[in-house]
Each structure stands twice: as C-alpha cells, then as structure tokens.
Structure 1
Amino acid sequence: MKIHNVVQGSEAWHALRANYFTASEAPAMMGASKQMKRTELLSAKKTGLDRDISWWVQKYLFDKGHEAEALARPILEARIGEDLFPVVGTDGDLLASLDGCTMLGEMLFEHKMWNEQLAADVLAGNLDPHYYWQLEQQLLVSGAEKVIFVCSDGTEDNFVSMEYTPVPSRAATLVAGWKQFQADLLDFTPVEVIPEAVGKTPDSLPALRIEVTGMVTASNLEQFKAHSLAVFNSINTELETDQHFADAEKTVKWCGDVEERLEAAKQHALSQTESIDALFKTIDDIAAEARRKRLELNKLVTARKISIREDIVMNAAKALQAHIDQINTSLSGKARMPAIPADFAGAIKGKKSISSLRDGADSELARAKIAASQVGDSIRANLTSLVELAGDHLFLFNDTQHLVLKANDDLVALIKVRVSEHQAAEAKKEEEQRERIRTEERQCLEREQQEAAPAELASPPPTKAAPAVATIVKPAASAKPVSYRAKVTDLEALVHAVAGGLAPLSVLTVDWDALDALVAQQGSLFSMAGVTLVNAAA
C-alpha cells in the first residue's frame, strides 16, 4: 500500500479520490449501495461531477458522523490497547481512506453512525453488502488482517463493534467488478437528468349549464360537446417517456371525473323533466366518449408498461449474451462458457419509473458480467494448466468442457492422478508384453531342443558303460569350457543343457559319485554331443 499524506475531507483528498476507485464507492459499483445507483456512479466518474450534497446532509450526516468517529476512536483504542491512525492509501487504481490503522497495519478501524438496524446487524455479526464491499476494499488495499467495524454515536452507551475478516472469493469478485466497471465506463454516455414526472390533465372543460322547464330552455351543450371531443382527440396515446406515463395516468382519472360530472348533470336535468331525448342523447354521447378514451388509455398504459419492462429485460439479456459470446471467442473453441444465471425480471420488480427500471436491470447485468468474467478467467487458467501439465497426454482429457469448470487446485490434482495412472498402466502393459516374449522364447527353445535330440535317446544301443574315471579327463588345449556350476540336485538341468548343445562344459559338484552315476546312465548322450566333462575342482 502506498500511503498519501493528505487529510480526509481536504481539497487535496478530494483531488486524489478523483483519480482512483475508492472503497466508499465499491458498494455502488457492485450495485449494492443504499445511497447511490451504479449508473449514478458511472455518470459521476465520467463527468467528474459528484452528486449535489445538501447543507443538511453535510451537517447532520457527514459532519456529525466525523464527530462521532473522533469520539469513538479513543474508546476502541482503550479496548484493544493500541493507537489508531487515520490513513489514506492506494494500491494500483484502488484507494481506501481508513478511519484508523494500527502501527503495524494488521488491524483497521471503520466507523458508521449509530442506527438501530445497523447496531443489531453488528451484534449479530451479519453485515449487508452496502457495508462489507467497502471493508473488503480496505483490506485489499491495506493488506491488513481484519477490520474492527464500529457503529456508535461516540458514546459508550451506544457503541457496538464486530471483527470483519476477508471472505474467500469476495476480493476476487471486487477486482473483477472494478474491471467490468472500467469497461462500462468507456462506453457510458451520461443521460440528461430528468426530474420525476408529475402528471397533468388535458385542458379543463367549460362548466356544463342546463336549464329545463319541461323543455330545454337554455343549454350550451353543443358547444360543450364540440370542445369536449376536441380535448379528447388531443389526448396523447403514444407512451414513451416517464412524462407520458404520468400524464396518461392523470388523464385516466380525469376522464373518470368527466363521466361523473356528466352523470350528475344528467341527473340534475332529470329532476326537472321526465324526458328530454336530445339532452340525454348528447350527454350520453359525451360520457361514452370519455369512458372509451379512459378505457383505451388505461389499456395503453398497462400494455406499454409491460412492453417497456419486457424490452428492458430482453435488452439486458442480449447484452449479457454478447458478453458471454465475447468470452467464448477468447477461448478459441477449446471450451465454452456455462450458463450464467441472471434475474433481470426480479431486479426490476416493484420499480415504477423507467429510469429505476433501467438502473435495476443495469445493476443486475453488471453483476452477471462480473460473474461471467470470473468464470472465463477460471476457464482460461484451467486450460493453461491442462496444456502445461498434461503435455502429450491431452487425449486423456476428452471431458475438458466439464473439467475446466472445476477449481484450479482440484483440476491440477486430477491431471496429475490421470497422467500417473496412465503411465503406470502403460508400464504394466510393457512389462506384460516383455514377459510374453520371454515365455514364447522359452517355449520355442524347448521345442527346438526336443526336435534336435537324437532318436537314439529313446532307445540307445547297448554299449558297455565306461568306468566313471574314464569320463573325467582334462580338456583339450583348444577347448574353452563354459563354467556350469551345478549342485547334485541340479544334475537334471545339466542333462538338458547338454542336449541343447551347450558344450564343452566345466562342472563343479560336491558329489562326484552322483556325477559318475549320471555319466554311466547318460554316457551315450554325452559322447554323441561331443561333451567333455572336466573336474573343475581338480
């Protein structure tokens, strides 16, 4: 954190804030502020003009809040046993004005004016987004471990506090929110601030005068009708702006009043005569026209309001889809974004003016864009991990679309497990293949040995067995015996070796009597194989 030597509330402080995104603006940026709409913050940042602050807001909220903060600081210092120093710091393009910070910077102090609801929330340890986004930015900028959040009026009696520590993922969401705010700020065009529309009725109709004495003796009914119909025809039925809607709603009520007045005039005339057809017909015509216009306008108001709401919701949904399509393009077809939930209809529910409808939808759109951008960043990080860790084993990850939606730590562990298991399986296959080859070679060798053995082995011609000592001779000078070290129990293996043509041999045994017996038994085999037995121990 870079510390700036400015006093909070000074001209230098205001000038510094104009160049950064401040912690107090974070709730509005996230669409969670109780005091400022997100579009108002966009307009203020775009134009450099803050909202007008009335003298009573400055005196009774800001000034009084600073006084309570100054009184609450020593109370908290006494409780924690450390001094607290106001600090203004920045990190990148983010700024935080800290009501207090300990000397080592591990603990912060944030003060809010006393109110019963906030005090109850603090005691319950449950802050709403209007407050915690500011604290998250303070912790992010300062690098502190926690904030002591205080709600008080500067006295011990009305003083409650709670510790707030960073909530996992909120800091990342905050950073993504400011990133989206910057993107929206580039495309934002401030709109003219229009005061709240107040409806007005059409021109007043002249007073209807009727005098009857068995017949109409005096009446301006024809002039009244002509004027009335002209006024009705001049009523606007093209509803586009808040002013139009306000006018239409007023006119609906006005038409109802006209109907009531005409009915009253009719009843007055009836009290003077039993039947005056022309009078009643004219009055009925005027009343019918007033009723028709009232019903038509009322339907138009209702239908147009529904239409505008639907347009706002659909436009917001299209803007979100365009943002998601842009992220999909950046993924180059390696993966696709999942559906990002957005409740635009819920965001505008209960709002009446067009400006509030649009602001509600825009705030929900910003929230959904922030969430989509975070998902996109996570997918890109996971794709990078796949390429770097899987290497030549990408064929093991045909479920990439599902995997890239995991947390990166979980994905990295899964990649390592899959690659390791595959490598172990491949090593096992190779060893099994080598074992099959060795088995086949042994089997082939045994078949060759059996085929190469002389037929006489089955029934050797009778010969006179040579004495055992005659079979033990010195090898010829040219012979290069192969050392065959065998124990008595391995003499059978010696026979197989001789039959396989492995000669001449040197035999080392601990039992020469057994060897003599073997030679006597298999003498013809040894002689036909040209084997010379040498007493290697001699």
Structure 2
Amino acid sequence: MKIHDLIQGSDEWAAFRLNHHGASEAAAMLGLSKKTTRSELLHMKHTGTPKEFSDWVQKNILDYGHEVEAMARPLIEDILGEDFYPVTCSNEDVGGNLSASCDGLTMLYDTAFEHKQWNTELATSIAAGILPADHMPQCQQIMLVTGAERVIFTVSNGTRENLVWMEVLPSPEWFDRILAGWAQFDRDLVDYTPPEVKPEVVAEPVRDLPAVIVQISGEIAVHENFSVFEAALREFLDETLIREPQTDQDFADLDLQIKAMKKAEEALDAAESQMLAQVQSIDQAKRQKDQLHKLVRDNRLMAEKLLDSEKARRKAERIEAARGAYTAHVAGLQEGIVGLTLAYQMPDFAAAIKGLRTLTSMQDKLDTALANAKIAIDLQAADLVTKLEWVAENAAEHRALLADLQQLSAKPIDDFKLVIRTRIDARKKAEEARLEAERERIRREEADKLAREAAQEATRKKAEEDATAAVARLPADIPEDPQPVALESGELWPRKALTHPLTSPVPATSTPTLRLGQINERLSPISLTADGLAGLGFTHAATDKAAKLYHASDFSRICSALVQHIQAAQGMHDPQKEKAA
C-alpha cells in the first residue's frame, strides 16, 4: 500500500481520483451502483471530467455527508477502542492503479472505517448484518488496497441514537472479481468512443387535425367540413407521419402522432353521433365520415405496428450484437486453453433490458451485462489456466489418471489439487505394491534356483565321491598308459578297461528294467549310447520296443567303468607326456 498526502475533497485529490480506479467507483464498474451507470463511469474516465452535482446536492448531501462522518468517527472510536485517520492510498507500490479514500484507517492498517449517511432502508439492512450488493465492492476494494483485515461499515446521522454498524471481512472471490472487473474496464476504456451528445428526447407537438363539425338545419341541410378535415388529414399522412423511425426522437414523435390519429378517430365517431342525433338518415355524410374514419384508423394501426416492430427489431439487433461480442470474447479465451473447455451460458441480455423504453438505456444495460459476463468468464479462464499449469508441473506423468479432468476443473483449486494428489498417491502405492510383489517373486525364483543348484551340486559331489571310492578300490596293476585297442565299432578303448573286473560281465538274476534314457538322466550332462555302453562292456539285456533295457544292479559298475575310461583318456592326452614325447 502506498499512502498519498492528499486532503479529501481538494482539487489535487479529485485529479488523483480521475487517474485511479477508486473503491467508491467499483460498484459502478461492476454495474451494481444505483447512482452511476457503467457507461457514465467510462465517459468520466475517458474525458477526465468528474460527475457534476447541483449546488443543492453538493451542500445538502455531499458536504453534509462529510459533516456527519466527522461526527460519527469518534463514536465508533469509542465503541471499538481504536483511533481512525482519514487516508488516501493506492496499490501503486505493486504496480497497480487501484485506490481507496478511507474515511478512517487504524495506525496498524488492520481496520478500516467507512461511513454512509443515515438512510432507513440501509440502516435496517446493516442492523440485520446484511451489506447490500451495491456497497460490497467498495468495502472489498478498501481491504484489497490497504490489506486491512476488516471494514467497519457504519450508517449514522452523526448521533449515537441513529448509528448502526457491521463488520465486513475480506473475500478472495470478491478480490478476484474486482481485479478482473477493472481489467475488463481498462480494455473497454481503450476502445471507448463517446456517444454523440443529443438533446433530451421530447416528442414534437403534433398539430391536431381540424375539429369535425356536422350541423343539420331544419330543412335537413347538412353543414360539415369533411373536405377541410380530409385535406388536412392527407397532408398529415403524406408530409408529417414518420414511417421509418431511426432514433429515440423518431420513436417518441411517432408515438405522439399515433395518439393524435386515435384522437381524430374518436372525433369522427363523435361527429357521427352528433349528426345522427339531429337526423336519422344522411347517407352521403355518413359514407364520407366512414371513409375518413377508415383512412385514419388504417394509418393509425399501420403506425402502431410499425412502432412496435421497429422497437422490437432495434432491441433484437442490440441483443444479437451483445451475444456476438460475448461469443467472440469466449472464443478468444478458449484459444489459449488447451485440454479444457470453458463452461458457460449465454447471458440473458433480453432480461437485462426488460421494461426499458429508450435505445440509450437499453444500450447501457446491455454494455454492463456484457462487461460483467466477460469478467466472469475471464475469471473462469484464469482459473483453468492456473489448474492446467499446476497439472503440467505436478502431474504431467500421470495424465492417464485424469480422464475426467474437465469435470475436476469445476472444483475449487484446493479441492482440485487434493483429488489429483490423492489419485497419484494411490497409483504410486499400487505400483510399489506391484513392484514389491514382482521382487518377491524373483526372490522366490532365485531361492528355488539356488536350492536346485545346491541339490544338483550335492548330487554331483556324491557321484564324484562314489566314483572316487570305486576307483580307490581298483587293483593297483592298471597300467598308467594303457594301449588302446580298436573295437569292432571303430572306437578306441583302453585294453584294461575291457577286462577290468568291475566291467566284466556279471551274471544277473534280476529282470532288466533300467532304460538307457534313465542312465543318461542320472549321468547328465554326460550322454551315452547303447554302442558306447557296449564298448564299456555293458550290452543291453533286453528291449522294450525301441528302448534298451539294462539291469539296475549294473549302474554302479557302469559309473566305475566310465571313471576308468575318463582317467585313461586323461593319461593318453597329458600335456607333460605329449611334450616329453
């Protein structure tokens, strides 16, 4: 807040108000003021001329208002235990153009005082704790500019007996509305063109048609002036009657002309009655009267329809222009909002001008309704932009969770954020649970794998130990480097391997049941063929279809023979011996 050293009511203070948007003007800017229209405020700001008041208004209302305000201030100070000082301030310190002329402000700037002259209707409302809508913008802008925590709104005539007050608290919604309203006002001010100054519309006097006279003498002679009346009537219809009204002046004149023609109809009817009262049958005069009556009536009806249709057309044109301007404004805002759609209803412009008769008053109300509609949709657009920016910053990776973002955008910003954060947290927890379950599955699989490998390793070691023990039991006279012999199959085998007692055939008493495939499963990864086993001295004892069958008791001897064969092969290819050779 920036405080300006100005005396309220001075010329410097008046100049300051013209260059700033004052709190007392906020209601007019929003079209809520009962004293100043929005169009009048635009004109004042554009021309730099303040509203003029008569000497009586200046003395009996404005000056008197300052007097009772000064009388009421110490009364409120006594009630609240606070001291108030008149202050003129603005928000120039933050680059703004809003101002407030406070009737009183505390030294800590936390409480403001606003005074209004005693008015029974207003006082009753304040006593009930209800601040009328046309006073709320001023109080809210005072708090917006000063940062005060409350406004003591007081109505009095300067006496303790006629003094009522209420506490008005700040409203963020009103702050947003006021800021958006002044922004729209500034845009309208740039495009403002002062209307052509026209004198007050007063219908031009319409010369009444000549009075209709019908007299009948005792000789049944008719004295009438229908010819004079007809000439004047036709001149009026051809030269005076407005057939294409354009302005408020034309509409007012045409309305008066219709009334004149209706009066002429009534005069003709009266003439007929007068004539018939004197004589029962005067056909020629009656026919002429009927003709003239029809001529007047037809043109009157035509003029009435023209007046109504033209008013309706002009009204419809202005309503349609306002609707088009609003639609274009919304379309412009929508272009800057990607991913959300502005939700709006077309303002009821027809209701805004209901009951108004002049084109000027209609246009003022339409302009105000359009401005307020723009203010409201601007606030909605700013709200959507804020929410989209928050989503881009905080939930860009979770847009899949926001399929209903359009519906969510209708929520207040805090609720909007809470819903999205809750969804994201729930998704993260679900994903973490899924990942933990996956990690647990992998841990179980690894444990099972290690268990299997340990079992396989134990089996392998057991087989090695069994084979080593079998070799240890062999006679010591096996030559270290036995000479291989060629078998009928063409393979080379150590001579002793073929005649070693462990591989020599042993009579079997059991039925052969051990399949070659089972032997290979036990010896895996070593794989033997039937011919290979035969080379080791073990011929299959039987067959089961294509399967070769061996005695189960031969398996340990097969292992021993295989170990001998491996050791013999190692000795045959010992690198040291090969080097020595």
Q: Does 1:313 align with 2:311?
A: no
Q: Which amino acid aligns with 1:129?
A: A
Q: TM-score, normalised by structure 2?
A: 0.75
Q: Does 1:325 align with 2:328?
A: no
Q: Which amino acid aligns with 2:412?
A: A
Q: Which moves more between the two structures, 112-121 or 305-314?
A: 305-314
Q: Which amino acid aligns with 1:97?
A: S
Residue 257 (structure 1) shift: 0.8
What is the alpha-carbon distance in structure 2 between the residues aligned to residue 193 and residue 500 of structure 1?
Answer: 115
What is the alpha-carbon distance in structure 2 between the residues aligned to residue 160 and residue 231 of structure 1?
Answer: 62
Residue 404 (structure 1) shift: 2.9
Q: Which moves more between the two structures, 439-448 or 184-193?
A: 439-448
- 2:357 alignment counterpart: 352
Aligned residue among 376, 385, 388 for 1:383: 388
Residue 60 (structure 1) shift: 0.9
Residue 169 (structure 1) shift: 1.0
Deviations 1:363-385 (A, max 9, x none): 22111111100000010000100
* 1:122-201 aligned within 5 A: 122-200=126-204
Q: Does 1:429 align with 2:424?
A: no
Q: Which amino acid aligns with 1:197?
A: V
What is the alpha-carbon distance in structure 1 between the residues aligned to residue 36 and residue 134 of structure 2?
Answer: 10
CA contact under 8 A between 1:39 and 1:359: conserved in structure 2?
A: yes
Q: Which amino acid aligns with 2:135?
A: Y
What is the alpha-carbon distance in structure 1 between the residues aligned to residue 357 and residue 34 of structure 2?
Answer: 18
- 1:285 alignment counterpart: 291
Residue 245 (structure 1) shift: 2.1
Residue 196 (structure 1) shift: 4.0
* 1:510-521 aligned within 5 A: none
Instruction: Note the aligned Cα RMSD (angstroms).
Output: 3.0
Q: Does 1:206 align with 2:210?
A: yes
- 1:392 alignment counterpart: 397
CA contact under 8 A between 1:123 and 1:162: conserved in structure 2?
A: yes
What is the alpha-carbon distance in structure 2 between the residues aligned to residue 444 and residue 188 of structure 1?
Answer: 84
- 2:375 alignment counterpart: 370
- 1:259 alignment counterpart: 265
Deviations 1:221-261 (A, max 9, x none): 22321221221234112233222222222222222210111
- 2:121 alignment counterpart: 117
What is the alpha-carbon distance in structure 2 between the residues aligned to residue 122 and residue 76 of structure 1?
Answer: 15
What is the alpha-carbon distance in structure 1 between the residues aligned to residue 254 and residue 221 of structure 2?
Answer: 36
* 1:391-410 aligned within 5 A: 391-410=396-415
Q: Which moves more between the two structures, 426-435 or 45-54?
A: 426-435
- Length, aligned pairs only: 468
- Give unpaired runs (5+ residues) of structure 1: 467-498, 502-523, 531-538
CA contact under 8 A between 1:200 and 1:251: conserved in structure 2?
A: no
Q: Which amino acid aligns with 1:420?
A: D
Deviations 1:38-91 (A, max 9, x none): 111111111112232111111111011111111111212222223221111111
Residue 132 (structure 1) shift: 1.3
Residue 281 (structure 1) shift: 1.4
- 1:299 alignment counterpart: 305
Q: Which amino acid aligns with 2:61?
A: L
CA contact under 8 A between 2:18 and 2:50: conserved in structure 1?
A: no
What is the alpha-carbon distance in structure 2 between the residues aligned to residue 163 and residue 441 of structure 1?
Answer: 72
Q: Which amino acid aligns with 1:205?
A: L
Q: Which amino acid aligns with 1:383?
A: L
- 2:492 alignment counterpart: none
- 1:81 alignment counterpart: 81
Larger radius of gyration: 2
- 2:13 alignment counterpart: 13
Q: Which amino acid aligns with 2:2?
A: K
Residue 165 (structure 1) shift: 1.4
Q: Which amino acid aligns with 1:368?
A: A
Residue 130 (structure 1) shift: 1.3
What is the alpha-carbon distance in structure 2 between the residues aligned to residue 60 and residue 200 of structure 1?
Answer: 36
Q: Which amino acid aligns with 2:27?
A: P
CA contact under 8 A between 1:256 and 1:291: conserved in structure 2?
A: yes
Q: Which amino acid aligns with 1:58?
A: Q
Q: Does 1:275 align with 2:300?
A: no
Aligned-partner SS, 2:278: coil
Aligned-partner SS, 1:237: coil
What is the alpha-carbon distance in structure 1 between the residues aligned to residue 268 and residue 396 of structure 2?
Answer: 87
What is the alpha-carbon distance in structure 2 between the residues aligned to residue 373 and residue 113 of structure 1?
Answer: 35
CA contact under 8 A between 2:201 and 2:252: conserved in structure 1?
A: yes
Q: Which amino acid aligns with 1:283?
A: K
Residue 218 (structure 1) shift: 4.0
Residue 107 (structure 1) shift: 1.2
Aligned-partner SS, 2:134: helix
- 1:62 alignment counterpart: 62
Residue 171 (structure 1) shift: 1.1
What is the alpha-carbon distance in structure 2 between the residues aligned to residue 209 and residue 390 of structure 1?
Answer: 91
* Gap change, CA 1:443 and 1:312, over 3 Å in 2: same
CA contact under 8 A between 1:340 and 1:372: conserved in structure 2?
A: no
Residue 157 (structure 1) shift: 1.7
- 2:254 alignment counterpart: 248
Residue 25 (structure 1) shift: 0.5
Residue 163 (structure 1) shift: 1.4
Aligned residue among 82, 94, 97 for 2:101: 97
- 1:236 alignment counterpart: 242
What is the alpha-carbon distance in structure 2 between the residues aligned to residue 276 and residue 415 of structure 1?
Answer: 93
What is the alpha-carbon distance in structure 2 between the residues aligned to residue 149 and residue 366 of structure 1?
Answer: 28
What is the alpha-carbon distance in structure 1 between the residues aligned to residue 21 and residue 127 of structure 2?
Answer: 30
CA contact under 8 A between 1:4 and 1:89: conserved in structure 2?
A: yes
CA contact under 8 A between 1:389 and 1:415: conserved in structure 2?
A: no
Q: Which amino acid aligns with 2:125?
A: D
